[in-house]
Structure 1
């Protein structure tokens, strides 16, 4: 249990983890949502099928 406590304290306390998680958050926010991606994929599939 002490090992888990130490790891959690480290993750919550070290600024490098906060910076990395914020960078990941920004990447996720900048990525298109599934609702944006699915219509594009459907269109591409329809266009590809039309060429076969």
Structure 2
């Protein structure tokens, strides 16, 4: 079971950028970082909407 807020905003951004690079699938990236694909997609969606502003990824 993963720990809530195990990644800070900078780490989440790095994971999102890894996904955007396109060298690995969503499933592979999520598995590598021990998060669900749903969580990964939520992070990406929030980043696309809000960027790195005041809101959490």
TM-score for the superposition, normalised by structure 2? 0.31
The structure that is helix-richer by fraction is 1
| Greater C-alpha Rg | 1
Task: Identify the structure with bigger relative contact order (alpha carbons < 8 Å, sequence gap 6+).
Answer: 2
TM-score normalised by length of structure 1: 0.33
